[in-house]
Amino acid sequence: MLLPKGFLFDFDGVIVDSFESHYSAWTSAFKELFDKDITSFPKTHAGKSPMIIAEYFCSVIGEEKRTKELFLLKDEHIKTHFKVPTLLPGVREFTSLLSEEKIPYGIASNATKLFLKNSIHHLNLNFPTVFGVQDYVKPKPAPEAYILLAETLGFKESDFKDIWVFEDSLTGTKAAKAAGMVAIGITTQYTAEELKEAGSVLAFPTLLEAYQYLIN
């Protein structure tokens, strides 16, 4: 079986369905800070850094100056009211395969490190190498997240063209492409057409179908 040299994964929408985990924390933090109900989550902001999401929610009520406050409070709420996200199909099969084949892999997400570590712990997942938004100077759509992860896993720039990156957002797909890696779409947020337009080479409903494609 000839597999790519490495596999990099986004987290939200690829490994887990975490919409409820995040949105409930945004909702309760927004209510505490402004005593108002939050607006619905904009699809355009899927995969963006929490600070950009906080800025959006504040801008709806003309409170952009309190963006950092909302960002920090949401982080508190996701700790104190932690909701374990739902594991998506194919994750355990994938990590078992990569461990057996001794292929390096890891997570680079725009979610916070604490949320990632808590989720991985509660779901008992095998991801020893994990980066979150605090680890980057420039989060996705900049390529830094995936370059940092690949280099930490021992890859050189000449290897990047042989590394697959699983992404569900346009933001992350652009980051993978900008890093010179092979973007693979997961259609939990966007259609295969939308992801391919952003730079995905292939697209699958979940990691399970991607795993089946690779072993067949």
DSSP letter string over 28-75?
HHHHHHHSSPPPPPPGGGTT--HHHHHHHHHHHTT-GGGHHHHHHHHH
Q: How many angstroms separate the CA atoms of 8 and 130, rounded?
A: 10
Q: Is residue 1 part of a domain?
A: no
Distances (CA, A) of 190 to 17, 39, 57, 122, 171: 14, 21, 22, 27, 11
Question: What is the bridge-based pairing of β-strands 163-167 and 182-186?
Answer: parallel
Q: Is residue 144 part of a domain?
A: yes
Q: Are residues 206 and 118 in the same domain?
A: yes
- pLDDT under 70 in the chain at which residues? 1
Instruction: Check residue 2 and give its pLDDT.
Output: 83
Q: Are residues 142 and 195 in the same domain?
A: yes
Q: How many angstroms separate the CA atoms of 27 and 38, rounded?
A: 6
Instruction: Check residue 81 and give its pLDDT.
Output: 83
Q: Are residues 149 and 202 in the same domain?
A: yes
pTM (predicted TM-score): 0.89
Q: Are residues 164 and 197 in the same domain?
A: yes
Q: Are residues 109 and 27 in the same domain?
A: no
Task: Convert the pLDDT of each residue in 151-174 to its tens digit.
Answer: 999 999 999 999 999 999 999 999
Q: Are residues 46 and 144 in the same domain?
A: no
Q: Domain range holding 52?
A: 19-80
Q: Is residue 52 part of a domain?
A: yes
For residue 148, the domain's CATH number is: 3.40.50.1000
Q: Is residue 202 part of a domain?
A: yes
Instruction: Check residue 1 and give its pLDDT.
Output: 62
Structural domains in the chain (count): 2
Q: Is residue 93 part of a domain?
A: yes
